[in-house]
């Protein structure tokens, strides 16, 4: 007999049929001559009722002493039953135990602190909360890939081990590379700028690394970065791409995972209301708003999380902040020809206090301008030799952005801390498990 998944049973596909399922014992209780086994298989959870007189004696006995998280196989018939936790149950006819889990599964039904759950992350990812977030995350990336495919983008991969900073030296992770020093990549961007002349419109979904020295609710040291680079695209164009992509992903999630979103406290209707166009405010306007709110903030200061939180209170859907000053953005951002103090840059901020989820904009395409900015930033042009070369051989106006996958998932799933948007978070004080 072929195993079927619990999700299709719960969708009604196997009602009144005999099925075989495989999974883990999520929970169990016994009452009178019946065991109620909750089985989880990764696609869902279903109640299986085992009556004393409908299975062999030794099976009924074995079930009685089963431990939480034991792995097993069950054969039985599916019944629709409104009293069952998810509307369906399986009347057990036979059971095979693959592995009887040890007694004392560390994660009990009581309150556990965050450190305990992080230490036991390898087990905690089985929880319904983590399972739901990880499924939404997978669907998020699946939908993104669908959108890229439908819109003619090619997936492109850049190296993880690199030699020059994209986003400033302060957060570079050094790697001993034989007899020299190299670093872990902060972004795919510089290589993407080389690849647009080979492939046209491109994207990636890959890990980026930042040696973030502070403990915050929105910084990981290893995070997944969804990045896009497009030739012949300006600032306006790249903002439109972000709107279209995000709108498609949000629609897909609301359409395909409404129950999962609700479970995490996010109403799909709320997300549906956050349709583009997203408002654009300039950095200048953001400074004005902050000052109106009584915050001491000078033009030229960097907008931090505390500032973003205040700004997000004025919006009920994502919004862009554009035209950041040169000094708060990386060297590659194109200065605005009409006002060279500011750059053709844009960050997308999520509402409800979440703040920045993407960063990007138009890149410098002129050789002279790039050399000047590299000098101004005190960078060594030797380190960027190949990157500078791109402005010698067929340079074009081009733009791109990077979206922090975990930041965006945190917002969509209304998470309190970014660590729950990834299975095994890497934080300043955590690289285990």
Helices (H), 32-127: 57-64, 114-119, 121-124
Q: How far is the CB of 127 from ligand NSS (least distance, A)?
A: 23
- First CA to last CA across the chain, in angstroms? 37
- For residue 223, the surrounding DSSP H or E stretch is strand 222-231
Minimum CB distance to ligand NSS smaller for 318 or for 404 = 404
Rounded CA separation 34/6 (Å):
21
Report which of 170, 244, 165 is spatially closest to residue 201, judged by C-alpha positions. 244
In the numeric block, which tokens belong to residue 353?
């206090």
| CB-CB contact of 284 with 303 (8 Å) | no
Q: How far is the CB of 401 from ligand NSS (least distance, A)?
A: 5
| CB-CB contact of 4 with 21 (8 Å) | yes
| Per-position x/- string for 393-432, each x denoting binding to ligand NSS as judged by CB under 6 A, each - no binding | -------xxx-x-xx-------------------------
Q: What is the footprint of ligand NSS within residues 310-369 (CB under 6 A)?
A: 356-360
User: Quick count: other Cβ atoms within 10 Å of Cβ 61?
Assistant: 11
- Count of residues in contact with ligand NSS, rule CB under 6 A: 23
Query: Quick check: helix, strand or coil at residue 197?
Result: helix
Q: How would you list the strands of the sheet with 173-177, edge to edge?
A: 161-162, 180-184, 173-177
In the numeric block, which tokens belong to residue 151?
């819109």
Q: What is the footprint of ligand NSS within residues 264-293 (CB under 6 A)?
A: none
Pairing of strands 88-99, 45-51: parallel
Minimum CB distance to ligand NSS smaller for 283 or for 401 = 401
Q: How far is the CB of 161 from ligand NSS (least distance, A)?
A: 17
Q: What is the footprint of ligand NSS within residues 181-220 (CB under 6 A)?
A: 186-187, 189, 210, 212, 219-220
Minimum CB distance to ligand NSS smaller for 62 or for 243 = 243
Q: How far is the CB of 204 from ligand NSS (least distance, A)?
A: 9
Minimum CB distance to ligand NSS smaller for 22 or for 426 = 426
Q: What is the footprint of ligand NSS within residues 13-42 (CB under 6 A)?
A: none
| Per-position x/- string for 224-253, each x denoting binding to ligand NSS as judged by CB under 6 A, each - no binding | -x-x--------------------------
| List of residues contacting ligand NSS (CB under 6 A) | 166-167, 186-187, 189, 210, 212, 219-220, 223, 225, 227, 356-360, 400-402, 404, 406-407
């Amino acid at each position: 007999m072929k195993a079927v998944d619990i999700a299709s049973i719960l969708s009604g596909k196997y009602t009144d049929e005999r099925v075989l399922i495989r999974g883990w014992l999520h929970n169990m209780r016994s009452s009178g001559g019946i065991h109620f086994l909750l089985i989880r298989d990764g696609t869902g959870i279903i109640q299986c009722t085992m009556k004393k007189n409908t299975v062999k004696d030794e099976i009924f006995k074995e079930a009685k002493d089963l431990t939480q998280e034991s792995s097993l196989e069950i054969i039985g018939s599916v019944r629709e039953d409104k009293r069952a936790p998810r509307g369906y149950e399986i009347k057990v006819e036979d059971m095979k135990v693959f592995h009887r889990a040890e007694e004392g599964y560390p994660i009990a039904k009581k309150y556990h602190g965050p450190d305990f759950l992080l230490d036991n992350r390898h087990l905690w990812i089985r929880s319904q909360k983590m399972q739901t977030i990880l499924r939404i995350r997978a669907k998020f990336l699946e939908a993104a890939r669908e959108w890229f495919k439908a819109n003619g983008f090619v997936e492109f991969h850049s190296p993880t081990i690199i030699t020059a900073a994209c986003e400033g030296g302060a957060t570079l992770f050094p790697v001993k590379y034989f007899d020299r020093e190299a670093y872990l990549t902060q972004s795919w961007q510089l290589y993407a700028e080389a690849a647009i002349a080979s492939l046209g419109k491109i994207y990636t979904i890959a890990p980026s690394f930042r040696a973030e020295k502070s403990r915050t609710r929105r910084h990981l040291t290893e995070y997944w970065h969804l990045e896009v680079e497009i030739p012949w695209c300006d600032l306006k164009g790249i903002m439109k791409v972000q709107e279209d992509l995000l709108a498609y992903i949000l629609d897909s999630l609301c359409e395909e995972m409404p129950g999962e979103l609700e479970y995490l406290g996010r109403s799909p209707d709320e997300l549906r209301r956050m349709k583009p166009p997203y408002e654009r405010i300039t950095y200048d306007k953001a400074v004005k708003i902050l000052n109106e709110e009584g915050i001491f903030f000078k033009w030229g200061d960097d907008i931090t999380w505390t500032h973003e939180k205040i700004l997000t209170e004025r919006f009920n859907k994502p919004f862009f902040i554009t035209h950041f000053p040169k000094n708060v953005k990386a060297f590659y951002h194109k200065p605005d020809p009409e006002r060279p103090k500011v750059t053709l840059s844009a960050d997308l901020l999520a509402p409800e206090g979440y703040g920045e989820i993407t960063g990007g904009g138009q890149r410098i395409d002129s050789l002279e301008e790039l050399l000047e900015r590299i000098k101004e930033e005190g960078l060594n042009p030797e380190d960027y030799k190949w990157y500078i070369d791109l402005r010698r051989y067929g340079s074009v106006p081009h733009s791109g952005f990077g979206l922090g996958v975990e930041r965006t998932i945190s917002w969509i799933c209304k998470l309190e801390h970014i660590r729950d948007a990834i299975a095994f978070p890497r934080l300043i004080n955590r690289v285990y498990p």
